Amino acid sequence: MKQPALERLNAASARQKLESGELTSEALVSACLARIAERDGEVGAWTTFNSERALNEARASDARRTQGRALSPLDGIPVGVKDIIDTKDFPTELGSEVFTGRQPDADAFIVSELKAAGAIIVGKTVTTELAFFGPGKTRNPHDLERTPGGSSSGSAAAVADRQVPLALGTQTAGSTIRPASYCGVVGFKPTFGYTSRSGVLPQSAPLDTIGGYARSVEDIALLFDAISAFDSSDLDMSPGEKPSLAAALIEPPNRVSRFAFIKTPAWPQADVAMKTAFEAFAGGFGARAEIVDVTLPAEFEDILRLPQIVQFYDIAKNYGPIADANPDRVSAKLKEIIAEGRTFSAADYAAARADQDSLYEVLRPVLADYDAILTPAAAGPALVGLAATGSPMFNALWTYLGMPCISLPLLKVENLPVGVQLVGTRGNDANLLRTASWLMQERQREA
């Protein structure tokens, strides 16, 4: 394989070539670094990266492989890490000038897991201000005049632009799924509590979830198999053994896939072109899949407000002191949301928190006969301009309910990517990825 093509490899393909000896980690990392050097001035996906460190780690990975040692599937694979996730080797500045130069003493739990798996952390990717709405410098690789989405802006753009095959993000409302939709990559938010958040900026503990980006579903499985060990210091983590996501993808489906096509209360606010394209997509499977229009129960009529109550209340609690101490160094939008969050009472918050489980129980019978919910990942293509990162209206509901979600780059609207979002039942992440893999393969066969 010629050197210029190496940055196009996804993680699974690179792993196979590394294992066969056809590829070295040094060559793979060099290709990614060359791509970053070529494109970072335009795309702006990185806050910092260290080429020398990455190459040294790649050579160490190659040495382990030469010695015949048993290696993790991610050994020698380059990864980007969102800049709200602590790294002792790189600054973690949280997308805020308040924290310029902040240098953690220790890695976040998931960063330690990546290192233990032999993954090569190239650097830190741009986040919006404190992982909320204030945009960073990143541009959408498909159109540099458009937003990449947020808050995991740099991670989505870096994977989309072939600067790294894998990257970590986070989601509290729509911060993983929406950038995946805008940038045309696979973005995954697992079940709440699936991965540790120790060493990650807390925004809203009942919602915060680690997410990830890749260019294939198989890569997502490899990434999350490597970072989902139990961490007792994160009290929201689900204990017990998790099934291998990579192994789940090998299992063939035992029946025709069934999808519940759900138009949430956000549907009327979506772009007309997106709605037309999505309805055509949902109706285009014939006998190969069963897609049923499903109406949400009446209890979901005002659902879009509940995630905001939880998130904004916690933003006021967690970010309010930062804004109060640094009024000239935080955005007007963040101060506005902090002020709104302070209008909610503890009783408002408790009621919204209680509805997370009660509404999920209402939804559970609706989902019992389906492999996944089929619904848009965003209201339309990426917005023109860099002043805003788009609305999480198509994502926040599922984050609030703690359900696993994945965005698949299967639609184009106005020649720009729009994600197809699949949502699964809590704890059934393996089935969601298996269903997503089937859907990707089905569309590739059509192409």
* Residue 63 CA to its chain's centroid (Å): 32
Q: Which two tokens stand for residue 191?
A: 């079940």
| 412 part of the active site | no
Name residue, tokens 């997106």: 274
Separation of first and last alpha carbons in the chain = 25
Burial-class residue 435 by CB neighbours within 10 Å (0-12, 13-18, 19+): buried
Q: Which amino acid belongs to residue 296?
A: L
Helices (H), 211-271: 217-227, 245-250
| 257 part of the active site | no
Point out the catalytic residue in the list 82, 124, 189, 242.
82
Q: Kindly provide the b/e burial profile for residues 352-377, where b requires at least 16 CB atoms within 10 angstroms of the residue's own CB.
A: beebbeebbeebeebbeebbbbbbbb
Distance CA 56, CA 78 (A): 12
Helices (H), 326-371: 332-341, 346-367
* Residue 105 CA to its chain's centroid (Å): 25
**Crossing angle of helices 51-66 and 25-43, rounded to 10°:** 160
| 151 part of the active site | yes
- Contact between 211 and 85 under an 8 Å Cβ cutoff? The reply is no
Point out the catalytic residue in the list 72, 96, 175, 437.
175
Distance CA 241, CA 103 (A): 33
Closest to 321 in 3D by CA, of 86, 130, 151: 130
Name residue, tokens 């896939």: 257
Cis peptide before 232 (omega within 30 of 0): no
Q: Which strands make up the sheet holding 372-376, listed edge to edge? A: 46-49, 120-125, 78-82, 166-171, 209-214, 186-189, 405-413, 416-423, 372-376, 257-262, 289-294
242: CB partners within 8 A, 6+ apart = 194, 228, 429
Point out the catalytic residue in the list 96, 151, 152, 204.
151
Residues tagged active-site: 82, 151, 175
